[in-house]
Amino acid sequence: MRRIFSGVQPTGNLHLGNYLGAIRNWVRLQSEFEDCLFCVVDLHAITVWQDPGQLTANTREVAAAMIAAGIEPERNIVFNQSQVPAHAELAWILACVARMGWLNRMTQFKEKAGKDKENAAVGLFAYPVLMAADILAYQATHVPVGEDQKQHLELARDIAQKFNNDFGVAFFPAPEPLIFGAATRVMSLRDGTKKMSKSEASDYSRINMTDDADAIAQKIRKARTDSDPLPTGTAGLEGRPEAANLIGIYAALADTTPEDVLARFGEKQFSDFKQHLAELAVAKLGPIQDEMRRLLADPGHVDRVLARGAERARALAAPVLSEVRRIVGFLGPKGS
């Protein structure tokens, strides 16, 4: 059995990096795998403060973006994490398997907690354990992610293996990362060495999935670049992170390679290229945004899709959790 699990946090400002690095790849994978679970990971979102009303709205927005991008909720399991208690239950058990030293090495915690580590939520530190539980609760075999999640996925593999070793079972498969596509790491429009991120303070650093055509064009026009014209080959992008990022975004949106983009725009000025990039971004994102708006006008429908997905997810996770409880030695009614 080949089963996919992947998620996006409903932390607001869903952006082009989330789309190109994750959601668009899921659309392609849904026809290649028997089972796909696509999750709005709201339990992960609250590892940093979320306004409750905003969290609800952001959860619907991420679900709408997935569906608008082409994920079919009838064919896949689309749900929000908190509706399936198995995630939190398994996370606790796995937190007792994972080692502090392993989590201490996670770079995302260091980045997000910053200098004020003492004041970070315990949940932020334990985030990768919950991510392991998300995947293992369904015995998922493949996890499509962007580059930034690679380390967390390696940890999920280590946790799965340690659980199997500790209890002398061959229960959890080691989940494989699927990192593919032309945009595994979309960078900030303000700094080509930082990834495009929801939590970056400057809105000009990212293209949000809710930005209108004017905002997209303005952000691309204002995107940081150097003063040289575009090179004619990818070797000329060396040491030019902002140029490399914009070329990469164009290539990903046009479904082509950076070489092809440079064959067309090499020696041109950024002003000219940016205009083409803005037109392409608007043409590709516009229909998705229209569909998102249509879906969000009927929140009851989105909520029903998530509720139905959660019901199916609970049914898949139930036998896995039941077996985990038996393996660990928890007493309970047979078959619970």
Residue closest to ligand AQP when measured from CB atoms: 21
Residue 215: both structure tokens together:
């905002």
CA distance 39 to 8: 7
Q: Tokens 């899709």 correspond to what residue?
A: 305
**Number of residues in contact with ligand AQP, rule: CB under 6 A?**
20
**Residue nearer to ligand AQP on the CB measure, 231 or 248:** 248
Helix (H, G, I), strand (E, B) or coil at 277: helix
Question: Judged by CB under 6 A, which of 11, 50, 76, 245 binds ligand AQP?
Answer: 11
Residue 195 in contact with ligand AQP, rule: CB under 6 A: yes
Residue 198: both structure tokens together:
């929801």
**Residue nearer to ligand AQP on the CB measure, 8 or 321:** 8
Residue 197 in contact with ligand AQP, rule: CB under 6 A: yes
The answer to whether the CB of 39 falls within 8 A of the CB of 59 is no
**Residue nearer to ligand AQP on the CB measure, 125 or 163:** 125
Question: Judged by CB under 6 A, which of 78, 145, 153, 253 binds ligand AQP?
Answer: 145
Q: Are strands 77-80 and 142-144 parallel, antiparallel or unpaired?
A: unpaired
The answer to whether the CB of 256 falls within 8 A of the CB of 263 is no
Residue 21 in contact with ligand AQP, rule: CB under 6 A: yes
**Residue nearer to ligand AQP on the CB measure, 157 or 195:** 195
Q: 275 CB contacts (<8 Å, ≥6 apart)?
A: none
- What's the alpha-carbon Rg for the chain, to the nearest Å? 21
**Residue nearer to ligand AQP on the CB measure, 9 or 289:** 9
- Taking CB under 6 A as the binding criterion, the range among 116-124, 180-188, 209-217, 240-248 that sits at the site for ligand AQP is 180-188
- Taking CB under 6 A as the binding criterion, the range among 84-92, 117-125, 142-150, 238-246 that sits at the site for ligand AQP is 142-150
CA distance 14 to 288: 13
Q: Where are the beta strands (DSSP E) in 123-252?
A: 142-144, 176-178
Residue 36: both structure tokens together:
């796909």
Write the interaction track for ligand AQP spanning residues 148-177; mark x where CB under 6 A is met and - where it is not.
Answer: xx----------------------------
Helix (H, G, I), strand (E, B) or coil at 219: helix
Residue 260: both structure tokens together:
């092809």
Residue 17 in contact with ligand AQP, rule: CB under 6 A: yes
Residue 8 in contact with ligand AQP, rule: CB under 6 A: yes
CA distance 153 to 160: 11
Tell me the catalytic residues. Answer: 112, 195, 198
Residue 18 in contact with ligand AQP, rule: CB under 6 A: yes
Q: Kindly list the residues in this chain that would bind ligand AQP in the complex (CB under 6 A).
A: 8-9, 11, 17-18, 21-22, 145-146, 148-149, 183-186, 195-199
